[in-house]
Amino acid sequence: MPRPGPRLRLVDVAERAGVSLATASRALAGREGVSEEVARHVRQVSRELGYVANPYARTLAGGASSTVGLIVHQIDDPYFSEIASGVLQVAAEEGLLVQIAHSGRDPENELRQLRHLIAQQVGIILIAGSGYDDPRVEAEARAELAGFQRAGGRVAVIGRHALGVDAVVPDNEAGGRAIGAHLLALGHRRIAIAAGTPGLTTVADRLAGVTAALAAHGHSPDDLAVVHSDFTRDGGRVATERILYHHPESTAIIALNDAMAIGVLSVLRSRRIPVPERVSVVGFDDVSVAADLAPSLTTVRLPMTDMGRMALTLALKPRSARPRRRPTGHTLVVRDSTGPVPAPGG
Amino acid sequence: MPRPGPRLRLVDVAERAGVSLATASRALAGREGVSEEVARHVRQVSRELGYVANPYARTLAGGASSTVGLIVHQIDDPYFSEIASGVLQVAAEEGLLVQIAHSGRDPENELRQLRHLIAQQVGIILIAGSGYDDPRVEAEARAELAGFQRAGGRVAVIGRHALGVDAVVPDNEAGGRAIGAHLLALGHRRIAIAAGTPGLTTVADRLAGVTAALAAHGHSPDDLAVVHSDFTRDGGRVATERILYHHPESTAIIALNDAMAIGVLSVLRSRRIPVPERVSVVGFDDVSVAADLAPSLTTVRLPMTDMGRMALTLALKPRSARPRRRPTGHTLVVRDSTGPVPAPGG
DNA sequence: CGCACGTACGAAAGCGCTTACGTAAGCGCT
DNA sequence: AGCGCTTACGTAAGCGCTTTCGTACGTGCG
């Protein structure tokens, strides 16, 4: 494994600026105890020389750890890559480094990655992606995070509750309600749901929203055919096959994320089932390709990139007494994949 | 900014194992100069205590930097997120950390990110994404990388040549030829190209492949209407508008990546121009959504995830005397977006 | 005008680790 | 038995930075 060569050090900057090492350090860190004049000069010299602090030395000496660890389920899922993009934007603005780790939607693995990041002494930890309804795993994660925070680390999560830390909270339930209301307004009554893995809180929350919408309009949740599968495109395919077989009377399919919706549309197309004439399809997330599918996908937009930005921004703020929550808001985006319920017998 | 609390140190392990700090270090690093017996014992104690070395101290002291820096144009572009996924896989297997930085397709910014990573003393640098045909930028990048390698750093690039380092080389030209041949075989003669930003070598290479295919079949490259725009979906949209306006006789549009192809399809759909009956469309890359578009996209498949894996694997091998090149191979995937040229006047 | 006090800065002590160097022991050789 | 050589380990010197502490200087006051 490599080791870097000789580099520009802080002493060099200090020498060049005609001040001591300590003064240079203070000036660049923006600490007080240095006259504004000297500080400005040091910064000037530093810039001229193109000095970049050695993060290892800085951190070792008890300074800030300027790297943020980001745990995502799967980076090549657009939902997460858009979040990551937002995180990277803020990180770039703040001069932070971002380490990304996969959890692969496996609670144990997520825990392992989390411990690894803590051991690596990152300063900030961001966890994106649904929580699990396994109390043991959540409790362990919570404990790890609490310890990390006690040691001065900062944490924010996206799309999870129950971790006792600052959180960006997607409007999962409200989004689900919006979808339910939309379909009901179009006259749909036999609605099927292509739901993701049962153990995910995101799945549960979105589902609860849809159910609530039905109930609010006086319809029984029994009308809902819920089929669980993977929270991926292939999962959407599988779920659709099962829906078509077991619930052929369905006039609408709600996929609980866009990835699944893509799978749903794919199967319907290959079966030559017209969307939305025969079956309406709704997704959730509004990943960027949703607008470009054919038919373009009706879905609930979550501002993923902003969510990434918000999460890191939250984590950068000084910690508050009690965990903060930032709801994301949502927008129902009606496109071409939903339409009025087909005439009975049509 | 946070700072970690008191943690288990190497001295603690050494003390507990009844050896000196130096011996403990050597034992854990697997260096020689320690009897196998003692080494085993130290490792045992270390494991029992759950010791994890402080990477900052380790790196500062001149040891291994076990983090890899990955520069991508844009992480929320599926091409790059799939590559990143491959890198993360190998990194997880090897116990390495991955830092991701955006270049935003801006040469200057890429250079800045590169310098930043070098300054951050990562051990391995991976650059993914097209090179630029600006000799100054490339020369500077090359110089930075050379210096980094001289200092012991390891480097691999994906999709670039001319950087004097190990490279994973996508079959851009051959892929372009395959596309050209495919369209010619279908009878197309008036072919338009939605090309990405002119300064990108990837664009140039793919274009050269298409041109070569035309030439090989005795057709003049003048038949080709090349329209440059951004290498993104929106770029694809813009290019298509221009193609329809300036070259309405085109029977096929080649987008030089799938992102652009999505934009192309989107515009054609909104103009109600049937694909492939009136116009055939081809993409490049085979991002995972390509198969799920409507019509499903004919494209050239590049094994992005594997490319990410290959790049990191290359970088982990000891450096060879001369830069290695790993061609990626490619596959023409014919789907529904291409068909025979429409009958003249049809 | 002399005192205490705050302010701007420098000297030096580590942070936890790797590694050159030193040393004691064990080996074979003459 | 004495020499040099290797091997196994300990000692201590940093890596580049932050930060505590100390010192010199001005400023206010009585």
* CB < 8 Å to A152, chain B: 2-5
**B286 in Cβ contact with B301 (< 8 Å):** yes
- Asked whether residue B207 carries a pLDDT value surpassing 60, the answer given is yes
Contact A7 B119 (CB under 8 A): yes
DSSP secondary structure code for residue A50 in this structure: T
Query: Which own/partner pairs from A21-25 qualify as long-range (CB within 8 Å, at least 24 positions apart)?
Result: none
In this prediction, residue B133 carries a pLDDT of 86
A185 or B96: whose pLDDT is higher?
A185
pLDDT range class, residue B345, cuts 50, 70, 90: low
Closest approach of chain B CAs to the CA of A102, in angstroms? Answer: 7
Q: Region A167-174: what's the mean pLDDT? A: 96
In this prediction, residue A4 carries a pLDDT of 36
DSSP secondary structure code for residue A222 in this structure: G
Which tokens belong to B143? 């110089």
Strand pairing class (A67-72; A97-102): parallel
Least CB-CB distance to A2: which of B65, B81, B292?
B65
Nucleotides of strand C under 7 angstroms from a protein beta carbon: 7-20
Distance B25 CA to D9 C1' (A): 12
Alpha carbon separation from A336 to A213, B8, B158 (Å, rounded): 22, 59, 38
Q: Region B76-80: what's the mean pLDDT? A: 95
Contact A151 B4 (CB under 8 A): yes
Closest approach of chain B CAs to the CA of A78, in angstroms? Answer: 7
Which tokens belong to A278? 């025969």
Query: Which own/partner pairs from B242-248 qualify as long-range (CB within 8 Å, at least 24 positions apart)?
Result: B243/B192, B243/B194, B244/B271, B244/B273, B247/B190, B247/B192
Query: Across-strand partners of A98?
Result: A68
* CB < 8 Å to B269, chain A: 294
Distance B14 CA to D13 C1' (A): 19
Measuring from the CA of residue B20 to each C1' atom, give the nucleotide at the shortest distance. Answer: D10
* CB < 8 Å to A76, chain B: 78, 81-82, 84-85, 288, 305
Contact A100 B84 (CB under 8 A): yes
Please give the Cα distance from A127 to A115 (Å, whole number): 12
For an interface test with A, the pick among B51, B79, B81 (most A C-beta atoms closer than 10 Å) comes out as B81
CA pseudo-torsion sign A67, A73, A76, A77: negative
Residue-wise pLDDT tens digits, B255-287: 999 999 999 999 999 999 999 999 999 999 999
Alpha carbon separation from A227 to A190, A191, A258, A260, B325 (Å, rounded): 14, 11, 16, 12, 47
DSSP characters over A167-197: EEE--HHHHHHHHHHHHHHTT--SEEEEE--
Contact B292 A262 (CB under 8 A): yes
Which tokens belong to A167? 């959180």
- End-to-end alpha-carbon separation of chain A, Å? 68
- Asked whether residue A163 carries a pLDDT value surpassing 80, the answer given is yes
- Asked whether residue B148 carries a pLDDT value surpassing 60, the answer given is yes
Please give the Cα distance from A87 to A128 (Å, whole number): 11
Q: Region A133-149: what's the mean pLDDT? A: 90
- Asked whether residue A268 carries a pLDDT value surpassing 80, the answer given is yes
| Cβ A60 to strand C below 7 Å | yes
Q: Region B7-31: what's the mean pLDDT? A: 90
Which tokens belong to A340? 């009025």
- End-to-end alpha-carbon separation of chain B, Å? 68
In this prediction, residue B177 carries a pLDDT of 97
Give the residue among B308, B280, B266, B311 at the shortest CA–CA distance from B79. B308
Least CB-CB distance to B56: which of A3, A60, A124?
A60
Distance B46 CA to C18 C1' (A): 17
Measuring from the CA of residue A33 to each C1' atom, give the nucleotide at the shortest distance. Answer: C8
Alpha helices in chain B (DSSP H): 10-17, 21-29, 36-49, 55-60, 78-94, 107-119, 135-150, 172-185, 201-216, 233-246, 258-270, 304-316
Give the residue among B308, B320, B323 at the shortest CA–CA distance from B165. B323
